[in-house]
Structure 1
Amino acid sequence: MKITRFFSTAAILLFLVSCSSIRVTSDYDKDVDFNQYKTFAFFKEGIDQVKLNDLDKKRILNAIDQELTAKGFVKTDQNPDFLINIFTKAQEQVNITNNNFFYSPWGYGWGWHPYWGPSRTMVTTSTEGMLYIDILDTQKKSLVWQGVGTGYLSNSSKTEQKEKKIQEFVQKILAKFPVEK
């Protein structure tokens, strides 16, 4: 009975982890014609202030570069049409689950039974991360588009998994850019 409960709980947790969805929102200046943008660069001063290790920062910038290049934009250091800035936030979530199990020869139900089972409290933590991608018009010197991706981050030490998760975040956020009117 305990083995069956363990495997069913493990299967549910595996399913929830594999279905880790990323929620995306975006906002933009409705007066901007996004068809005018052809070239981009990264806003170094802003990116340098992001509180993130250099390896993950590089992974995010590479993923953004790949996505924008795939959409036909050209990266340049000479008079870009728009600049990319990023910033991140992370919040620790604590989840407490209390399961009271009891067994009865007459089936499950409310009330007192002579066959009480164990009470188990489980405490788990997870990190919810947010990645903001800002598009800044270099002529107007203003924010014209912002995309935000929110999702749960794994504490995996595997480089491939980190890169895959970062790529997924960036891809889903930039799916809404450029805005087509």
Structure 2
Amino acid sequence: MVSRTPLLAGLAVLSACASTPTINYDHDPTADFSKYRTYSWVFTGVPQGMNPLAFQRVKASIDRSLAARSYTQASPGDFAIAFTLGARDRVEVSDYGPYSTFYPGWGIGYRYGWARPYSNVEVRNVTDGTLAVDIYDATTKKPIWHGTATQQITPGKVDQATIDTAVDSVLAKFPPPPAKQ
């Protein structure tokens, strides 16, 4: 259930966490990615409801990542790029069994070699943040590539290293490898 406002969602996806992002991507197999060398931005201003600082940080990280791969910004570019941020809360349940993972437990009769079993269940609320990057052919305006980076985050903690990791991880899949013939 999505329970964050767009402002919090923008912050949440950028917060620091020790997990590595899960990357997914899709692309148009008919697109000729070898012709794309320059890019422009679909949105020049901050989308309504998004944290302007988070927008600025992610945009700068995408610019840096694309520049490192020899793409240059132009107006108009060969392709146009946009991104969105989101967060989703979920409940994570871990059942460690009747005696846990590390000790047989305490209970009536423990000194006699047996103990009454007890349940050891851990319930946590976690937030998954997602960065979605969309790339469009600037001439045809058709989508040619979509990538997402999703990881567990701590809402409200913005960390540039986490932003850079998510951006670099998702853009590592752009352009997709050539189709095998």
Answer whether TM exceeds 0.5 for this pair. Answer: yes
Q: CA deviation at 1:95?
A: 3.1
What residue in structure 1 maps to residue 160 of structure 2?
A: 163
Return closer, same or farther for 1:25/1:50 CA change in 2, 3 Å cut-off: farther
**Percent identity for Structure 1 against Structure 2:** 25
Residues 66-125 of structure 1 deviation map (CA, whole Å, 9 limit, x = unaligned): 11000000012x22111111112211122355776631224466xx4xxx88x7765432
Q: Give unpaired runs (5+ residues) of structure 1.
A: 1-16
Q: CA deviation at 1:179?
A: 2.1
Q: Which protein has the larger Cα radius of gyration, Structure 1 or Structure 2?
A: 1
Amino acid across the alignment from 1:34: F
Count, aligned residues: 153
Query: Larger % of helix: which?
Result: 1
Q: Which has the higher contact order (CA 8 A, sep 6+)?
A: 2
Amino acid across the alignment from 2:85: T
CA RMSD of aligned residues (A): 2.6
Return closer, same or farther for 1:138/1:120 CA change in 2, 3 Å cut-off: same
Asked if the contact 1:50/1:86 (under 8 Å) is kept, the reply is no
Judge which range, 137-146 or 50-59, deviates more: 50-59
Alignment partner of 1:93 is 2:90: yes
Amino acid across the alignment from 1:21: T
What residue in structure 1 maps to residue 146 of structure 2?
A: 146
What residue in structure 2 maps to residue 10 of structure 1?
A: none
Asked if the contact 1:22/1:150 (under 8 Å) is kept, the reply is yes
Query: Larger % of strand: which?
Result: 1
Q: TM-score, normalised by structure 1?
A: 0.73
- Counterpart CA distance in 1 for 2:53 and 2:141 is 29
What residue in structure 1 maps to residue 26 of structure 2?
A: 27
- Counterpart CA distance in 1 for 2:166 and 2:176 is 18
Q: TM-score, normalised by structure 2?
A: 0.73
Asked if the contact 1:34/1:180 (under 8 Å) is kept, the reply is no
Q: Give unpaired runs (5+ residues) of structure 2.
A: 1-16, 100-104
What residue in structure 1 maps to residue 5 of structure 2?
A: none
